[in-house]
Amino acid sequence: MWLTRARRERARRRYARHPFPDPTLQRLLASPWPDTNALWDEVDWLAIDLETTGLDPKTGYIISFGWVAVDRGRIRLDTARHLLIDSRNLVGDSATIHHIRDTDRSEGVDLPSALRMLARAMTDRLPVMHHAPLDTGFLRAAYREQFGMDWFQPTADTLVLEKKRLFQREQTMPGNVLRLNRCRERYGLPETNAHNALEDALACGELFMAWARHFGGDGPRVKDCLSRV
């Protein structure tokens, strides 16, 4: 976490001297480091999921975004968004590089607008994802590529949190116990036959709440939720 924080601080200082031209992004960059001693349900979170082609941000491309806010311990459906990224203008080579199949092509929002909307949603919220490294990698690459912005935000990863919880109790762990639906099952959450980004974001948000409610005591503090990077 200290590394994220250091990188973020550096970016912040840099952008403080030369404010970022886009006010939406500037606001995200300027948002303060969270109070890590606060209880999880005293702060606001944003459950995010991306659908991408491939696993490598260098060659993959974001097809869609889904997010929903988990504010003060509850999911607010009015914040739910599902954005398909317009990939029609990616033709020829660039489409091949990004592994965009014809079936992935869709009408939608262009990537910079989507990133701006996400930045607005993330302002004053902490991202939550299931298996975060993949998504943060794509996000960081996209923000840099589109805006030249260094995006570092402390995030919670439900997969990591769940793994930690299970490891405290069990020694061996079969391969797929950390799959989103398997995790949800353990908390009595209904099965989702997800496969779009918003469904996954919602499923992840619900899992996050369930995990936190099972934490014991008053619930986890923010620092208990955030991942080391």
Partner 1 sequence: MTETQSLPPELASIADFIRQTLPFNALPEGEVERIVHEMEIGYFRNGHVFNENTRDQGLRILRSGAVEIRSQDGELLDRLAEGESFALSGLLQQEPGVRAVLIEDSLIYFLPQKAYQDLRGRFRDFDRFFHGQRSRRLFRATRSMVSPDGMLTPVTSLMATDLVTTSEETPVCELAEMMSSRRVSSALVLNDGRLSGIVTDRDLRSRVLAARRSPDTPVSEIMTANPVSLERKATLFDATLLMTRHRMHHLPVLEDGRPVGILTTSDLITARQDDPVYIVQRLSRQESVATMQTVLRDIPQFLLRWTDAGVPADQVSHILTAISDTVTNRLIEMALDELGPAPVPFAWLCFGSQARAEQLLNADQDNGLVIADEATDEDMAWFEQLATKVSDGLDECGYVYCNGNVMATNPFWRRRLTGWYGAVDNWVTSFSPHHVMEISIAFDLRTVHGDASLTSRVQSHMLERVRANSIFQAALAENVLEGSPPIGIFRRFVVERNGDHKDTLNLKKRGLLPIIEIVRLHALASGVDRINTLERLDELARGKHMTRYDARNLQDALRFLMQVRLQVQADQIREGEELSNYCNPRNLPKLAREQLRDAFQLVDSAQKSVRLAYRQGMR
Task: Give the nearest distance from C-beta 216 to partner 1 in angstroms.
Answer: 10
Between helix 111-122 and helix 132-147 the angle, nearest 10°, is: 120
Task: Give the nearest distance from C-beta 33 to partner 1 in angstroms.
Answer: 27
Task: Give the nearest distance from C-beta 212 to partner 1 in angstroms.
Answer: 8
Closest CB to partner 1 among 63 and 149?
A: 63
Closest CB to partner 1 among 18 and 169?
A: 169
Structure tokens at 227: 């991942």
Task: Give the nearest distance from C-beta 181 to partner 1 in angstroms.
Answer: 14
Closest CB to partner 1 among 57 and 205?
A: 205
Closest CB to partner 1 among 174 and 188?
A: 188
Closest CB to partner 1 among 21 and 190?
A: 190
CA dist 138 and 56 (Å) reads 8
**Alpha helix (H) residue ranges in the chain:** 2-17, 23-30, 92-97, 111-122, 132-147, 158-169, 180-186, 197-213, 222-225
Task: Give the nearest distance from C-beta 102 to partner 1 in angstroms.
Answer: 18
- Given the rule CB under 8 A, which residues bind partner 1? 66, 73-78, 80-84, 106-108, 187-190, 192, 194, 196, 198-199, 201-202, 205-206, 209-210, 213-214
Q: Spell out the residues 6+ positions from residue 172 whose beta carbon is closer than 8 angstroms to its own.
A: none
Contact between 194 and 180 (Cβ < 8 Å) = yes
Contact between 226 and 154 (Cβ < 8 Å) = yes
